[in-house]
Amino acid sequence: MLANLGAGLVSAMQPLNFLMMTLGLAIGIVAGALPGITMLNAIVLVLPFTYFMGIVPALLLMIGVYCGGVFGGSITGILFNIPGDPMNVPTTWEGYRMSRKGQTRYALGLAIMSSAVGGLASALFLAFFAPPFARFALGFSTVEFFSVVVFGLASVSVLGQSSMTSALISLFAGMFLGTIGTEAQYGVERFAFNVPFLKTGVDFVTVLIGLFAIGEVLDLIAPASPATAPAAPKGSAMPRLPLLDLWPLRWSLARGTAVGIAVGGLAGAGATVSSFVSYGLEKQTSKHPELFGTGHAGGLVASESSVNGSTGGAMIHLLTLGIPGSAATAVMMGAFLIHGIQPGPLLFTKQTAEVYTIIAGMILANIVMIALGFLAALSFATLMKVPTPILNTFIVVFCFLGAYALRNDMADVWLTMLFGILGFFMRRYDLPIPPLVMGVILGPMAEQYFLTSMVANANDLTVFVTRPVSAVILLLSVLMVLWPIVKTWRGRDKLTKDGEFA
């Protein structure tokens, strides 16, 4: 195995191959950072160019876009509160707050390093444990996927900064938004009320851009006096690489990476679910959960490492079982097939050289990403020097363009702006935004997995607790919801006892 991996590294280090991987990384990072242009768009855009390439440079270009794309969205999330992709949302919650506290350099550096470490660890996991892990994961079905999504939704219990009911209202509202439009299984229109653009549903990118970016711009403009206005991120934004600062956060990094690999390894549950699950888990295990949402480095590290950690997990399914876990890996599977690579159980024995070149490419991509991520963050961070009025104006225009680019439809622009206004009032009246975003993203996934499980199991609800993995994940979800309540009771009990003895 080590010999194969060594040969793969040598192949990936050839000048043309290395150049293609670096180019792919750069394209992925920039595409991931631009709202409205996702990593999937970038992979689809580079696919035709690979037709004219040899097999190895083509694969490394795609791998580069994939690894860079999952990281890129964090940069604009940290700097401007605009997550490039839904998977970057938890990073944005903490990163942007850190930025507003003047810790932009630290936040960017942490994001780069934890992405690289998470991605590297998952690539190594892919290299050494892919076949046995794939055999284990092959036993999973939509029942387990549903349980994982429920675990992500259960983390809402730790997201409400002020009250659980506010968080739940926000979550259910988001889940409802996710049901609008034409239902996939029977093609029935739900809550469209004969409004044409509602028939195609509410794209979660419009919700993301609106609530985060437009809402933030209005929040910066609205205060009566500039002195009372929330501080826009300022100061030096040049990222620094906090190699030593990462040591105290090693457990957050380890947890995030482990969650990323595990969740990424379940087909269908990709980087987005893993980032939400990892963030929720991190807050539950933290000694200072009250600091989450205010710019907590642990939350950022856990979320960011899980996003890139999921890349190796997703590739396990793709390479060993031939099952793409997401739209991005589905396009990559298409590219593999075009170049004569047949993902599946025999891949590791029949096309050993190619498969280890892919793995070596992932390892190298995550190392090179430190340098490229630094350069990209530096370039985007230059925008921080732009005066706030100009920045706010162009953020609105870019949001317009990002929303319009989704489907070339003004309806998406309307939705984005309306969600922006909603986001402003949610901020003002302390209705937490993260649960709503989580509901819009994870709600439709939960519905799809739940209904498919019910069809496959004759509407037998007990299937969720009779399958061991699903039962364990659901039990963990229940514990996650109950833990804050138990902690509150224990706190009250302690206060009462202290009062008695005082």
Q: How far is 93 from 280, CA to CA, in rounded Å?
A: 12
Evaluate the CA torsion angle 201, 406, 404, 379 in order and state its sign.
positive
Measured from the CB atom, is 251 or 414 closer to other proteins?
414
CB distance 481 to 157 below 8 Å: yes
Q: Rounded to whole angstroms, what are the CA distances from 113 to 71, 300, 302, 308?
A: 11, 11, 11, 11
Q: How far is 116 from 107, CA to CA, in rounded Å?
A: 14
Measured from the CB atom, is 255 or 427 closer to other proteins?
427
Place of tokens 């060993």: 320
- The residues, any chain, with a CB within 8 Å of residue 447's CB and separated by 6 or more, are 178, 179
Closest CA to 214 of 73, 399, 33, 415: 399
Long-range contacts of the stretch 38-41 (C-beta < 8 A, 24+): 38/69, 38/84, 38/85, 38/205, 39/65, 39/66, 39/68, 39/69, 39/70, 39/72, 39/73, 39/85, 39/328, 40/69, 40/327, 40/328, 40/331
Measured from the CB atom, is 430 or 493 closer to other proteins?
430
Beta carbon of residue 417, minimum distance to other proteins (angstroms, whole number): 5
Beta carbon of residue 328, minimum distance to other proteins (angstroms, whole number): 20
Beta carbon of residue 365, minimum distance to other proteins (angstroms, whole number): 25
Measured from the CB atom, is 148 or 153 closer to other proteins?
153
Beta carbon of residue 431, minimum distance to other proteins (angstroms, whole number): 8
What are the structure tokens assigned to 142, written together?
A: 């939509």
Beta carbon of residue 16, minimum distance to other proteins (angstroms, whole number): 26
Binding site for other proteins (CB under 8 A): 160, 162-163, 165-166, 168-169, 172-173, 175-176, 179, 183, 185-186, 188, 190-191, 214, 217-218, 221-226, 228-230, 387-390, 392-394, 396-397, 400-401, 404-405, 408, 410, 413-414, 417, 420-421, 424, 427-430, 443, 447, 450-451, 454-455, 459
Measured from the CB atom, is 316 or 445 closer to other proteins?
445
Measured from the CB atom, is 18 or 212 closer to other proteins?
212
Measured from the CB atom, is 97 or 427 closer to other proteins?
427
User: Amino acid letter at 200?
Assistant: T
Place of tokens 């009025």: 389
Evaluate the CA torsion angle 19, 23, 28, 29 in order and state its sign.
positive
Beta carbon of residue 88, minimum distance to other proteins (angstroms, whole number): 21
Measured from the CB atom, is 258 or 406 closer to other proteins?
406
Beta carbon of residue 186, minimum distance to other proteins (angstroms, whole number): 5
What are the structure tokens assigned to 134, written together?
A: 């794939």
Beta carbon of residue 93, minimum distance to other proteins (angstroms, whole number): 18
CB distance 278 to 94 below 8 Å: no
CB distance 12 to 364 below 8 Å: yes
Beta carbon of residue 191, minimum distance to other proteins (angstroms, whole number): 6
Measured from the CB atom, is 162 or 379 closer to other proteins?
162
